[in-house]
């Protein structure tokens, strides 16, 4: 549904986007992940036709954004960074304007507006001027205008930025509800969002795509993938460490905590599963553990490792 082909963007000597290609299919929620300044927003601006690419193009449902911009623009809904909207309009008028531009008239426009207001919970601010709205509501208005025409492709630039946890949860709920029918791409630098919402993640830094995988696959690249976290009594720490020395395949043991409890994180070599062996050992040698957890992997470590500048890389 959404195909990005070899996008480049140069601002004079600065290369903001460097050969970015990917596709998003129906039913996918792609997380566009990267540090600030990575080129996420610039890429989105090119996809939506706001910025002309230096090279490459984007196809939305087969329509080339540069050759057939109007046809392409009808196929997506876009929430720009910062969720801009006309401050002097009230929510109702704004949505009606967007509905008209999207080709809806009269009763159909009203029906669409009512539906989207319900979906995004804008009822209580329906008559209010946009400049008086809180950030959370402004963002919801932005999402509403992006979804009002029920587009097959949805492009959201930092949709939960600045929202409180409740609002984030609601926004993610909205995304989840429409996931099946649409191809959605959201840009974010929140790793928890990627885990919560995205079926796939692309990590971009300095204009290049550095990784393209599911969140689980990305997490598996972490050195903490399959690490085991033990919650133990401080007094047993030394004994347990001694027992652990007998087990091959342990790369490191990290200890954290103060006072009477400690948390040991046992990192396996090559991410090999050691939970089974450890559980047996814990049972057999009576470690008296309070908690036992297997880590899926830490996305922030992977993120940092992947996006670190070349001279700093390799220090995960």
Partner 1 sequence: MKSLIGNTLYICRRELAGYFATPLAYVFIVIFLVLAGVLTFFVGDFFERGQADLQSFFTFHPWLYLVLIPAVSMRLWAEERKSGTIELFLTLPIRLSEAVVGKFLAAWVFVGIALALTFPFWLTVLFLGNPDNGVIFASYLGSWLMAGAILAIGAAVSAATKNQVTAFVVTAALVFVLVAAGTQTVIGLFQGWAPQGLVHAVAGASLFGHFTAITRGVVDLRDLLYFVSIMVAFLAANAVLVDLTKAE
Q: Which residues bind partner 1 (CB under 8 A)?
A: 45, 48-51, 70, 73-74, 78, 80-82, 84-89, 93, 97-98, 100-103, 129, 142, 145
CB 82 within 8 A of CB 160: no
Structural contact between residues 210 and 306, judged by C-beta atoms closer than 8 angstroms: yes
Q: Smallest gap, in angstroms, from Cβ of residue 151 to partner 1?
A: 10
Q: Which is nearer to partner 1, 87 or 173 (CB)?
A: 87
Residue 302, classified by CB atoms within 10 Å of its CB into exposed (0-12), middle (13-18) or buried (19+), is buried
**In the complex with partner 1, which residue's Cβ is closer, 19 or 81?**
81
d(CA 157, CA 21): 18
Look up tokens 């909207």; give the residue.
85
The residue among 74 and 208 lying less far from partner 1, judged by its C-beta, is 74
Nearest distance in Å: CB 82, partner 1: 6
Question: Of 122 and 219, which CB lies nearer to partner 1 in the complex structure?
Answer: 122
Instruction: Give the angle 58-2-154 at the CA atoms, nearest 5°.
Output: 110
Q: Residue 239 CA to chain centroid, in angstroms?
A: 42
Strand-pairing partners, residue 211, are 203
SS3 label, residue 11? strand
In the complex, least distance from residue 172 CB atom to partner 1, rounded to whole angstroms: 23
Q: How far is the CB of 136 from partner 1 (least distance, A)?
A: 18
Residue 49 vs 268, nearer CB to partner 1: 49
Count of C-beta atoms within a 10 Å radius of residue 261: 14
Q: How far is the CB of 75 from partner 1 (least distance, A)?
A: 9
In the complex with partner 1, the residue whose CB is nearer, 153 or 267, is 153
* CB of 23 vs partner 1, minimal distance in Å: 20
Instruction: Name residues whose C-beta falls within 8 Å of residue 118's C-beta, 6 or more positions apart in sequence.
Output: none
């Amino acid at each position: 549904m959404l195909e990005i082909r070899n996008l480049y963007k140069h601002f004079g000597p600065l290369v903001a986007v460097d050969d970015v290609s990917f596709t998003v299919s129906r039913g996918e929620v792609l997380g566009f992940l990267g540090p600030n300044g990575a080129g996420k927003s610039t890429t989105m601006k090119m996809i939506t036709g706001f910025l002309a690419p230096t090279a490459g193009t984007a196809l939305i449902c087969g329509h080339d954004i540069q050759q057939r911009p109007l046809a392409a623009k009808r196929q997506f809904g876009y929430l720009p960074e910062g969720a801009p909207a006309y401050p002097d309009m009230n929510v109702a008028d704004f949505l009606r304007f967007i509905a008209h531009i999207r080709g809806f008239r009269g009763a159909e426009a009203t029906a669409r507006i009512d539906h989207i207001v319900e979906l995004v919970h804008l009822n209580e601010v329906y008559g209010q001027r946009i400049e008086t709205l809180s950030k959370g509501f402004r963002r919801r208005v932005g999402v509403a205008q992006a979804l009002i025409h029920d587009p097959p492709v949805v492009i959201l630039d930092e949709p939960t930025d600045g929202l409180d946890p409740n609002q984030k949860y609601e926004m993610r709920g909205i995304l989840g509800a429409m996931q099946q029918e649409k191809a959605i791409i959201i840009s974010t630098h929140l790793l928890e969002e990627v885990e919560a919402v995205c079926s796939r993640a692309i990590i971009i830094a300095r204009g290049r795509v550095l990784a393209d995988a599911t969140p689980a696959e990305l997490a598996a690249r972490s050195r903490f993938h399959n690490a085991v976290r033990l919650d133990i009594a401080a007094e047993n720490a030394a004994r347990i460490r001694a027992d652990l020395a007998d087990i091959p395949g342990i790369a490191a043991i990290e200890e954290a905590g103060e006072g009477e409890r400690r948390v040991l994180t046992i990192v396996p070599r090559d991410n090999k599963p050691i939970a089974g062996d450890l559980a047996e050992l814990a049972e057999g040698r009576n470690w008296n553990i309070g908690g036992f957890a297997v880590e899926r992997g830490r996305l922030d470590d992977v993120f940092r490792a992947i996006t670190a500048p070349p001279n700093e890389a390799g220090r995960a």
